[in-house]
Amino acid sequence: MTLSKTFAGHYFEDFVVGQELVHASPRTVTEGDAALYTALYGSRFALTSGATFAASMGLDRMPLDALVVFHTVFGKTVPEVSLNAVANLGYAACRFTAPVFPGDTLSARSEVIGVKANRDGKTGVVHVHSVGTNQHGETVLDYVRWVMVRKRDEASPAPETVLPDLPATVAPADLVVPAGLSGTAYDTALSGSPYLWDDYAVGERIDHVDAMTIEEAEHMTATRLWHNTAKVHFNQHVEQHGRFGRRIVYGGHVISIARALSYNGLANAQTILAINAGTHCNPTFAGDTVYAWSEVLEKIELPGRSDVGALRTRLVATKDRACGDFPLRAEDGKYLPEVVLDLDLTLLMPRR
């Protein structure tokens, strides 16, 4: 008898709280990744676009965009966590703890910290705590996500429910400003906006105005680029029989589009310090046009720093609906069907 040498991915009943998952294929990120990221999303933040601008802010080299790091580490986790996912549901306690530069090699490990069977008997929700490290063993990304995963056998018994206790936000003391970064000689002409941390007010809402239509080739390029092999994104042969009859766009692809759109209004928010929480509210498909708006939730003074501060913002993305009226929820409290992303971010911005 020949045993199968292939791996079909974990199903819901395969996950156990406390289980450690080591993710394969360490990935060396390069300047090619930076170029592809720009090609996919058009991000214009100066710190990750120009080496001379990064040098003016005190860095020896231009770092990769924080979301390149997020996607790379996330993609490492997919084969063991979400290959058989129905949908990725949300994020919490996500911290970017060290800059990543071209030539760095990223690896990932995860621990299962929660499981809960769904009432339909077909799926369950799995919480994992994932950590990305560089070639020196330094943590560059630390986060929790939860994902709805198919069951292998609908008759299998439900496990005892375990839900992790997650913080609402990343505490200011836990935010990490990249070593050496300074806002003292900041050039607003080159950054693209005169508005700094001091110019924003809690409660302020910003319509980012611009929009981007998702193309089939682009979101498929992104899933391959980040080694994201989840069937819901990758396999039309399977998904034609699923809930929607077509592949769902990787939620991180929408995050990067919304973040790139936010440049128009938040151009000086040069990097993401934390993703405090996030929800993919509704699915997105090729052909949808993404708009975005932001709300300033909190202004945070960073300990010992007068040159930079942090803005905690809500970043909302919609599909096929402009954001001039800041759409979010219906009267019953549920997300509007056009709202596809609700993300709570902490952003780093120079001060006057």
Residue 68 belongs to domain with CATH number: 3.10.129.10
Structure confidence by residue, pLDDT tens digits, 259-276: 999 999 999 999 999 999
Contact 239, 231 (CB under 8 A): yes
Alpha-carbon separation of residue 115 from 9, 124, 128, 161, 290 (angstroms): 17, 7, 9, 6, 32
When pLDDT is cut at 50, 70 and 90, the band that residue 229 belongs to is: confident
**pLDDT mean over 25-32:** 97
Give CA angle at 309 (303, 315), nearest 5°.
125
How many angstroms separate the CA atoms of 125 and 17, rounded? 12
Which tokens go with 53? 């601008």
Is residue 263 domain-resident? yes
**pLDDT mean over 68-76:** 97
Average pLDDT, the chain: 96
Q: Does residue 114 surpass a pLDDT of 80?
A: yes
Is residue 297 domain-resident? yes
Tokens 């039309």, located at residue: 236
Contact 73, 95 (CB under 8 A): no
Residue-number span of the structural domain to which 224 is assigned: 14-154+165-350
What pLDDT does residue 238 have? 86
Is residue 5 domain-resident? no
Tokens 């809402």, located at residue: 205
For the chain, what is the domain count? 1
Q: Does residue 305 surpass a pLDDT of 80?
A: yes
When pLDDT is cut at 50, 70 and 90, the band that residue 243 belongs to is: confident
Alpha-carbon separation of residue 173 from 80, 109, 301, 307 (angstroms): 32, 25, 10, 17
Q: Which of the two residues, 102 and 242, has the higher pLDDT score?
A: 102
How many angstroms separate the CA atoms of 253 and 171, rounded? 27
Is residue 186 domain-resident? yes
Is residue 220 domain-resident? yes
Is residue 224 domain-resident? yes
Bridge partners (DSSP) listed for residue 21: 110
Q: Does residue 326 surpass a pLDDT of 80?
A: yes
* pTM metric for this prediction: 0.95
Contact 222, 214 (CB under 8 A): no
Q: Does residue 200 surpass a pLDDT of 80?
A: yes
Is residue 307 domain-resident? yes
Is residue 256 domain-resident? yes
